[in-house]
Amino acid sequence: MDIDEPQFRTIVTAVFGEAEPGYRDSATPLTPDEGRAIIGIARLAVDSDDREDDDEIALLDRLVGHICALAGITAPPLAALPRDAGERTAALVEVTAPLLGKPSAVLAYAVAYLMTISDMDIAPVEASFVDELGELIGLDPDRAEDLQAKVTGILTPGE
């Protein structure tokens, strides 16, 4: 699976809405801290099932590039990966902190969901990761379901 810049922009628009002149610059709707947090969440999502394949890593690299462009940053260094579910939860709580109460938290959710479906086989632990993230950021379950459908639709148009 791959995601090109127009597809990523469509996901960003689904989260943030259309840019409004004089209100928000659509080219950089993320702060550097938000961008780094979203990248951290994406990396945790890839590792949530304790296995990564080349396609997942390629998609992660592509998404990191898109997120860096939105936040005006370079990719942060790789952090040590959690060794178990408890460490993963603690890492998720820590990395999510800069996003709480902000629209960018919803983009982080969309990116995490995208990473968990990237291998076309969402494992129960991956679904739990996405659910846990949704709870941490206070995302309404109906909004989460709608966002999942939109992301899936963007990636698989006409299916």
CA of 19: how far to CAs of 23, 25, 91, in Å?
8, 7, 32
Q: With contact defined as beta carbons under 8 Å apart, do 42 and 64 qualify?
A: yes
User: What is the per-residue pLDDT for 24?
Assistant: 47
User: What is the per-residue pLDDT for 154?
Assistant: 81
Q: With contact defined as beta carbons under 8 Å apart, do 155 and 3 qualify?
A: yes
Q: With contact defined as beta carbons under 8 Å apart, do 105 and 139 qualify?
A: yes
All domains of the chain, ordered by start, with CATH? Answer: 5-16+28-154 (1.10.3680)
End-to-end CA distance of the chain: 15
Q: What is the pTM of this model?
A: 0.87
Candidates 55, 46, 25, 29; CA nearest to 107 is 29
Using one digit for the tens of pLDDT, what is the confidence trace for 45-103?
988 877 777 888 888 999 999 999 989 999 988 877 777 888 888 999 999 999 998 88
Which string of DSSP letters, residue by residue, matches 40-54? HHHHHHHHTTS---H
